[in-house]
Amino acid sequence: MTEFINKPYERIFVRDIIKLSLDDLIVMMSSLEAANAYWVDQVLFASFAMSESEELAKKEMQNEMYLDKIIFAKYEKYTKTVKSSTNLEIGVLNMQRSKLYKDLIAWLKTQPIWNE
């Protein structure tokens, strides 16, 4: 039988964190092919990986990930979709059960940009 191993990343490097208004986040996400945002602990967000390369693939094998950016907006309650003031609408995925994303949002809330 195949052995399955769940091994979380040891380190995740984030190049940029961008706090947006809810409207700006929706506009940005709606312009992407996969226009879904994630929701965890009163935060609506999306993360973007860096362009794939052989070097980054090696880092992944060493339990490291590099994110180009995280965009986020405070959003109190989970809803399946969210609309902007101009009626753009995106889907929202509830990732509350993901340990990785819960850890990410807990870390995000300790960053100076959280209170800006």
In a domain, residue 33? The reply is yes
Residue 65 included in any domain: yes
Q: Output 17 or 55, whichever has higher pLDDT.
A: 17
Cα–Cα dist 81/6, whole Å? 31
89 lies in some domain = yes
102, part of any domain = yes
* Residue 82: count of CB within 10 angstroms of its CB: 21
Q: Give the chain's mean pLDDT.
A: 91
Asked if residue 36 belongs to a domain, the reply is yes
What is the tens place of the pLDDT at every residue in 43-77?
A: 999 998 877 778 767 777 778 888 889 999 999 99
Domain coverage including residue 94: 12-115
Determine, yes or no, domain membership for 6.
no
In a domain, 49, yes or no: yes
pTM of the model: 0.88
The whole-number pLDDT of residue 7 equals 86
7 within domain boundaries: no
Count up the domains in the chain and report the number: 1
